[in-house]
Amino acid sequence: MKNNNAPLYLWLLWCTLCLYITTPWQYLRYPYTDNLSLPYMLYFCVVVVICIFPLLFRCVLLIVRSASKYDFTFFVKKKKGSKKSTIHLSPYADTRCPKSMRKHWDVLLSLISKAINNDEIIVMHSHLFTPARINKLIKRLESYDLSFSVITYPRKTSL
C-alpha cells in the first residue's frame, strides 16, 4: 500500500530542523544587559515563518506566473546549424486545471508541428510523459497529417 503522507513527513522534518537550528537564538543575550536579545514572541514568529515558508511555494509561484509575460511551459534548445531541437517540459508549468492543460498541449503541439514541418529531429524530456500521454500525443499528431516516427526510452525513477 502506498503511503501518500511523504509531503507531511518532509514538512514535519523541516519544522523539526527549524526548531533545532533556531533554539540557541532564544538564549543569546546583549553584551551589557541581562535582557534576552530576541524576545520569545519574536522567536516564535521567526520559527513560524520559517516553518510555513515551504507551504507558500505554490502561492509565490502563482504570483510569479501571473506577473510574468513568460508562460513557463516549455524550454526549447536548438543549436545553430543543427536539425535537432530539444524540448524540455518545465516543472513550473501550470497543469492543475483542464483549461491550463489544454493550453499546455496546444503550445506543445504547435512547437512539434512547426519543428516537423522544418524536418527537424525533436527530443523531448519529461517525467510527465506516461504511455497514455505519449499515445494521446501520437494520435493528435496523426490527426494533423504529419509524417513522423516515435522512439521512446523508458526511464527509471528514483521512487
Asked if residue 33 has pLDDT above 70, the reply is no
Residue 30 near residue 37 (C-beta atoms within 8 A): yes
Residue 148 lies in a domain: no
**pTM, rounded to two decimals:** 0.52
Establish if 157 belongs to a structural domain. no
CA distance 53 to 129: 30
Quote the pLDDT of residue 1.
Answer: 46
111 in a domain, yes or no? yes
Residues 6 or more apart from 109 whose CB is under 8 A from it?
137, 140, 141, 144
Quote the number of domains for the chain.
2
Q: Is the pLDDT confidence value at 17 over 80?
A: yes
Please indicate, yes or no, whether residues 129 and 79 belong to a single structural domain of this protein: yes
Domain co-membership, 55 together with 86: no
What are the pLDDT digits (tens) for 45-95? 888 888 888 888 878 877 877 776 666 667 677 777 777 778 777 766 777
Determine, yes or no, domain membership for 156: no
Residue 110 domain boundaries: 70-143
Whole-angstrom Cα distance, residue 93 to residue 75? 11
CA distances to 15, 72, 126 from 109, rounded to whole Å, are 42, 16, 15
- DSSP code, position 47: H
**Are 60 and 91 found together in one domain?**
no
Residues 106 and 52 in one domain: no
Summarised one tens digit per residue, pLDDT across range 98-146 is 887 788 788 888 888 777 777 778 887 776 777 888 888 888 878 877 7
pLDDT score recorded for residue 142: 82
